[in-house]
């Protein structure tokens, strides 16, 4: 029976939460700019760029690994057997080689 031993890692969506904060961070940047702090504005711009750059990479990698996360959790929780997990791992490796 599933108990979510990995806290349902395969369903995590923290990246979306960070990306959703983008607009709020951008608003902070505008306010700081209006106050006349260009150095802080630049630092916030750099941070916004980092969110965009890494967010896309994280989402892509997470999507690729999600089934591994899912089936590993199910294996730990005795919802699937070792052969099922191995099959998932082998399928992942085949896709990875493409």
Report how far residue 20's alpha carbon sits from residue 67's, in angstroms, rounded to the nearest whole number. 24
Do 18 and 55 meet the contact criterion of CB atoms below 8 Å apart?
yes
Report how far residue 20's alpha carbon sits from residue 2's, in angstroms, rounded to the nearest whole number. 30
Give pLDDT tens digits for 30-60.
999 999 999 999 999 999 999 888 888 888 8
Block residue for tokens 């904060």: 21
CA angle 53, 95, 78 (to 5 degrees): 100
Q: pTM of the predicted model, to two decimals?
A: 0.69
């Amino acid at each position: 029976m599933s108990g979510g031993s990995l806290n349902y890692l395969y369903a995590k969506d923290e990246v979306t939460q960070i990306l959703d904060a983008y607009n709020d961070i951008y608003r902070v940047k505008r306010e700081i700019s209006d106050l006349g702090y260009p150095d802080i504005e630049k630092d916030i711009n750099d941070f916004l760029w980092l969110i965009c750059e890494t967010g896309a990479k994280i989402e892509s990698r997470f999507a690729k690994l999600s089934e591994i996360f899912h089936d590993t959790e199910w294996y730990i929780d005795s919802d699937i057997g070792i052969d099922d997990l191995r099959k998932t791992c082998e399928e992942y490796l085949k896709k990875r080689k493409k």
